[in-house]
Structures are given as C-alpha cells and as structure tokens.
Structure 1
Amino acid sequence: MSHVPLGYRIENGKAIIDEKSAEQIKTLFQSYLSGDSLRTAARKAGIGSFHGGVCKILQNARYLGDAYYPAIIDSDTLAAAEAERIKRATRLGRIREPEEKAEIIFPTAFRFLENPECVDEQADLPTSPFQQAEYVYSLIESEVS
C-alpha cells in the first residue's frame, strides 16, 4: 500500500509528477465534470478503484500542489468537482443533516426526609432512611420476567 497519491512518484526523496498517472487524474476530473459517474469516469481514466477511492481522489487537495507535491490540476477544477459531488449527493438525497436529539435528564438526586416523624404521621412512610429507600425501590416495577 502506497502513501503517495496517484499521479506522483518519489525520486531521491522528492515527489515528482508521474506523467502517465497524472494524465489519468486529469482525465478523471474531466470525465466527472462532463457528467460521468464516479465508476464510469474512473474506467475512462483507466483507474481501477472503487467509488469511495475515486471520490477521495476527487477531493484530494494535494493535486493543487504544496511544498512537497507539484500541482497536477488547478484550484478551479478541484472546486468544480467538489461542487458537482455535493450537487449530485444532494439530488440523490445522500446528504443528511444530523438530527438534534432531545436531552434526556435522568434523576440522579435523592432526597431523604428531614423530619421522618412528621411525614410518618401524614403519609405512613417508613421512618429510617434505609427503610425509606427500601420502600421507594419496592415501588419500581421489575422488568425481569
């Protein structure tokens, strides 16, 4: 597996353009922008990759050139390919905004009665905190059958 993008090769520690592969990259961009699908554009360019790999090639900003890699395509071509990719994905319903989920608030605080004798007279609750907890847990329905 190579870490060098298609269209380049390394010679003497420097990236240089591989003319044959660079022509494949240019053909891929031209075919995709002319309306071909990812697979068809890759086939026309002679690139044997799956559609996800071809999509990554179309999004790779290294083809614009940087301090290490020389430029193969211009920024207008890369921007046009990205705009076309987003347009097609939107048309096909493949761009989805994440749904905002309602925050679930779990009860994590427990309140012990400060004067159990007073409440005991009114509501017939147990008087010790341990008995109160046992009573509260007994009210929870068991989900185990």
Structure 2
Amino acid sequence: MTHTPFGYIIEDGKAVIDETNTEKVRRLFHEYVECGSMRAAAKKAGIDKTHSMIGRFLKNKVYVGTEYYPQIVDENTFAKVQEIRKSNARSQNRIREYKVPPKVEIGTFAIGKVTKKYDDPYKQAEYAYSQITEVANE
C-alpha cells in the first residue's frame, strides 16, 4: 500500500480531491512560481510541513493527473515549478557533475571504466572485477 498524496483522499477505492487541502496544494504551486521559495510559498499556502516534504510535493507528478489521481495543478504551472527548482539548485551549487577518472591505479593494479550494467549483482561484480588489470612496473 502506498501513501496517498497530500490533497487527495480515497473514497470507495478511488482517489478523489480533498477540497480543503487541494486549494492549499494549488496555492503552494502558484506561490512558489511567484516567490521561488519553498518555505515562503508553503507559509502563504497554509501548509505546515518540513522543507523536504514541501520539496516532495513540488516534484510529485501526480498533481498534474494520472489514470488514478485527478488533476490538481495544470501542466504549465508544474513545468514552471520544475524549472525554478532546477535553477535554484544550480544557483545554490547543489548540482555537481561527477567525473570518473578514466583509469584508477591502486598499487600495481588498475581498473578501467565499468560501462555495462547487469541486474544480477553477482554478474555485475564479476564484470567489474574483469576490468582490473595488472600494471607493469617500470
């Protein structure tokens, strides 16, 4: 069983809009577009949740509607919110590119880049270990 997103309730096995909280969700999205601050938007919307919970609300695609959940937020507003979130993450230096060195040397051994992915962890480990080679001492 999964958690029912804020703004919805389950009645007779179907997700329906919870009128009280749905307006708060709509206002949260609109206020966030206006001010770009999760805390300020949540406060104006009357939602008393943690910063991380507000972040989850703002990135939850359920609010634009699915087969099971009715739409609360229009797609344009949702897209604007995602752009602002991404812009804020960049400006606050929370997005970093991880660069893998092409070859790592450990003592007399080196490992090349592991490019294949296997669902079976044993096959993945076997493949990763096969990338280890001995480095000639000069």
Q: Whole-Å Cα distance in 2 between the matches of residues 89 and 41 of structure 1?
A: 17
Matched, 1:105 2:105: yes
Equivalent position SS for 2:105: coil
In structure 2, the partner of 1:13 is 13
Residue ranges of structure 2 left out of the alignment (5+ in a row):
110-138
Query: When the two structures are superposed, what TM-score results if normalisation uses the length of structure 2?
Result: 0.72
Cα distance between partner residues in 1 of 2:89 and 2:50: 17
RMSD: 1.5
Deviation at 1:101, TM superposition (A): 3.0
* Higher RCO structure (Cα 8 Å, ≥6 apart): 2
1:84 partner letter: I
Which of the pair is proportionally richer in strand? Answer: 2
Report the Cα distance in structure 2 between the residues aligned to 1:103 and 1:35, rounded to whole angstroms: 45
| Rg larger for | 1
Please state if 1:70 is matched with 2:100. Answer: no
CA-to-aligned-CA distance 1:53-88 (integer Å, 9 cap, x gap)? 111101100011111100001111111000011111
Q: Where does structure 1 lack aligned partners over 5 or more consecutive residues?
A: 109-145
Write the distance in 2 (CA, Å) between the matches of 1:101 and 1:52: 33
> Where does residue 129 of structure 2 map in the other structure?
none
Structure 2 CA distance, aligned partners of 1:82 and 1:101? 31
- How many correspondences in the alignment? 107
What does residue 24 of structure 1 align with?
A: 24
